[in-house]
Structure 1
Amino acid sequence: MKEDWTGFLLPYKQTTSELKAKFTALREQFRLSQQHVPIEFVTARVKPVDSILEKMQRRNILEANLENEMEDIAGIRIMCQFVDDIYQLVKLIRKRNDLSVIEERDYIANEKESGYRSYHLIIKYPVQLLDGQRDILAEIQIRTLAMNFWATIEHSLNYKYNGKFPNELEVRLKRAAEAAFQLDQEMSAIREEIKDAQQEFSYRRGNDTKE
């Protein structure tokens, strides 16, 4: 196996750092333009070595093919208020010229059997290294806050039960996933009211700051 994981993962860390900075800056551009801000916040992570090794074994990925076959070593997650915000961001990402979209997986329209919902994009992102440019595969996950809450809980339980949930817990998780989606649907139905209230709050807060 690899002896220098630090060196191998360095371009992936650079990728996540740059992508997080760019989408955080995009959020600020929306805010300054006084438009609805579709991005709540952005997080980034590089897959830990033990998780990489486990996935290599589970998927029968050879070390020589790791860079091309494991698409989520680098990943960022973008959180949104509304489902419509997710699709707005997907359209913006498709138009960007600083990355290439390789694959899209819409787990919102086609949720997983577990109840998991999110929008995944596999991208190719060019990073500038000491020895020149290198294209890095990365994953962008876009979710609402409700989807993220459910996914975080499910992920924690997955570790506890090693992916094999008791039947009652599995039923409850699916029910909770549906409840989270219904919350998103209700929030989308009153989206314009929420946006107006948020804009009025921001305007008043700005005036209070000036006084």
Structure 2
Amino acid sequence: MEHWDDFLAPYKQAVEELKVKLKGMRKQFLREDTHSPIEFVTGRVKPIVSILDKAIQKEIPLDKLETQMQDIAGLRMMCQFVDDIKKVVKLLRQRNDFEIVEERDYISHNKASGYRSYHMVIRYPVQTIHGEKKILVEIQIRTLAMNFWATIEHSLNYKYKGDFPKDIQHRLKRAAEAAFLLDEEMSKIRIEIQEAQRLFSRKKENQEQPD
């Protein structure tokens, strides 16, 4: 494909705009001095080489990328607790600045590999000098523990091209179970954790105030 910069420009614009909007949701919770279900937000546009690799793997023609590849633009919303994910999903469903195309719950129905996350595919309208262009964007919502596991698995997947040695495959599953147990244990003491975090934040604010 020629003119990759022109093709990817609206995807980059969508990611930057959505990062501002989704981070803004977190700031609203903090202004109200209440627990934010959003810990932080990241975003990226898939590198060209990754787009081409996936197009070959999924047999997607280059002229069909806009409609058949859902994760050229991607955002991740990190949460402290599993229950926070449900709150974030509900908040996203209430928004009217994009259309939800698809939802995939890999938390209630985790993959065989152990992967857990909640995926939303949205259609986001980008305003350009040539008019409105609707972009497919994938939003992944997960806990910090889920993200740690997924990041490691992604790196290993890149090395082994999905064909993991048996011992690594076994250890990955055990690690996924450990991450799940970590999330469960943290959820059981979430009230104490949130109270401690509020106290720490207030102490920090008082220390930063000028004399």
> Fold-level match, TM-score > 0.5?
yes
Deviation at 1:87, TM superposition (A): 0.8
Aligned partner letter, 2:132: Q
Please give the alpha-carbon distance, in whole angstroms, between the structure 1 residues aligned to 2:154 and 2:163: 12
Note the C-alpha offset of 1:57.
1.2
CA distance in 1 between partners of 2:159 and 2:55 (Å) = 21
Aligned residues: 210
| Counterpart for residue 67 of structure 1 | 66
Q: AA paired with 2:115?
A: Y
Partner of 2:97: 98
2:151 aligned partner: 152
Alignment of 1:4-83 (within 5 A): 4-83=3-82
Q: TM-score, normalised to structure 1's length?
A: 0.97
DSSP-derived class of the 2:198 partner: helix
Q: Distance in 2 between matches of 1:118 and 1:48?
A: 22
Q: Deviations over 1:145-191 (max 9, x none)?
A: 10010011111111111111110110000000010010000000111
Matched, 1:192 2:191: yes
SS at match of 1:163: coil
Distance 1:34 1:185 in 2: 25
Cα distance in 1 between the residues matched to 2:54 and 2:156 = 19
Unaligned runs of 5+ in 1: none
Q: Counterpart of 1:135 in 2: which secondary structure?
A: strand
Match of 1:208 in 2: 207
Partners of 1:208 and 1:9 in 2: CA distance: 45
Which residue of structure 1 aligns with residue 121 of structure 2?
122
Give RMSD over aligned pairs: 0.9
Counterpart residue type for residue 134 of structure 2: D
Mark the runs of 5 or more structure 2 residues left unpaired by the alignment. none
Partner of 2:22, secondary structure, is helix
Hey, what's the Cα distance between the residues in 1 that align with 2:60 and 2:26?
A: 37
SS in 2 for 1:138: strand
Q: CA deviation at 1:24?
A: 1.1
The offset of 1:64, in angstroms, is 2.1
User: How far apart, in 2, do the equivalents of 1:21 and 1:47 lie?
Assistant: 19
Q: Once the 2 structures are TM-superposed, how far is the Cα of residue 78 of structure 1 from its aligned partner?
A: 0.8
